Amino acid sequence: MERSIYNELSGIITDEQIKLEEPMKNHTTFRIGGPAKVFVTPRTSEEVRAIVAVCREGKIPYYIVGNGSNLLVSDQGYEGVIIQIYREMNEIRVEGDTITAQAGALLSAIANRALEEGLAGFEFASGIPGTLGGACIMNAGAYGGEMKDVIGEVTLLTPEGEVRAVPADQMEFGYRTSIAARTGAIVLGAGIQLQRGDKDEIRARMEELREKRVSKQPLEYPSAGSTFKRPEGYFAGKLIQDAGLRGFAVGGAQVSEKHCGFVVNKGGATAADVAELMRRVSDKVEEQFGVRLEPEVKRLGEF
């Protein structure tokens, strides 16, 4: 499969944009994951569209990743094409009160650009370790803010291969979901609507949130951020803590001692370790409190 798809893709993108048997541990914040059969880094929306068309026509599985901040890739890797929309598609432009960015732009980079321009409203996202594309799909949020609060429109590549600009009110944003998540549409970029603000106040708010993250989250270890979704009426981390699971480990994977809502890679953790740890945590919490924790982290490959 690799060689034939390689030949097709090399007619669309350069050879340096295509890698075979690329270790996914190099492309996830968990630092875990076996090889992707084919790994490509498109530079334009048109390249993304053409790559997806080749995959769909050949019935070859494909998966879009950004910086891999919410992803657990199987130890066996991925038997398909990984399309990474990240460093090669991260342009950020500002016009008036609107920031337009490609899907691969990091939220932290967008927040810093907003600060430079004196634009307020994006501070909540300044510490979220992900790209704009993933944030739009998941309606990422933190500290009382969500993407749905600031998005003007999102440029999507639909499952039918059409590029469409979709207004925010048609994105069906919900808790960690959107129309893109439900339909498999690919985010290519988005427009973010902000307001004029005081640079010192924006900087102070970003610094305040940064200090909160550093003091409360286990940023010193590889992780995929919050491991479980927030159950209605509860907090996942609190339930895990109350179940006596702080520091609970399977192999190199551990429930963070600093924040029980995070599973961290203490060194040498496998995807199997993380998956087993998550299963046991969910079972224990359900057994004690009758609440089943749902994973927020996406899984890719065979488990």
Structure tokens at 285: 């919490």
Instruction: Pick the catalytic residue from 123, 176, 178, 256.
Output: 176
Alpha helices of the chain — where are they, by DSSP H?
A: 2-9, 45-57, 107-117, 132-138, 179-183, 199-216, 236-242, 271-289
- 176 catalytic per annotation: yes
Please pick, among 8, 79, 276, 296, the residue that the annotation labels catalytic: 296
Our answer to whether residue 296 is catalytic in this structure is yes
Please give the Cα distance from 147 to 128 (Å, whole number). Answer: 11
Buried b / exposed e across 186-223, counting CB within 10 Å, b at 16+? bbbbbbbbbeebeeeebeebbeebeeebeeebbbebbb
Q: Rounded distance, CA 76 to CA 125, Å?
A: 33
To the query of whether residue 282 is one of the catalytic residues in this protein, the response is no
* 3-state SS, residue 164: strand
- The Cα–Cα gap between 197 and 150 comes to 15
* Angle (nearest 5°) at CA 241 between 236 and 247: 115
- Give the residue from 88, 89, 75, 90 showing the smallest Cα distance to 28: 75
Residue that has been written with the tokens 């029980």 in this structure: 260
Beta 35-40 vs 92-95: how paired, if at all? unpaired
Active-site annotation holder among 45, 74, 126, 226? 226
Q: Residue 163 in contact with residue 157, Cβ under 8 Å?
A: yes
Buried/exposed 157-170: b ≥16 CB within 10 Å, e otherwise? beeeeeeeebebee
Catalytic residues: 176, 226, 296
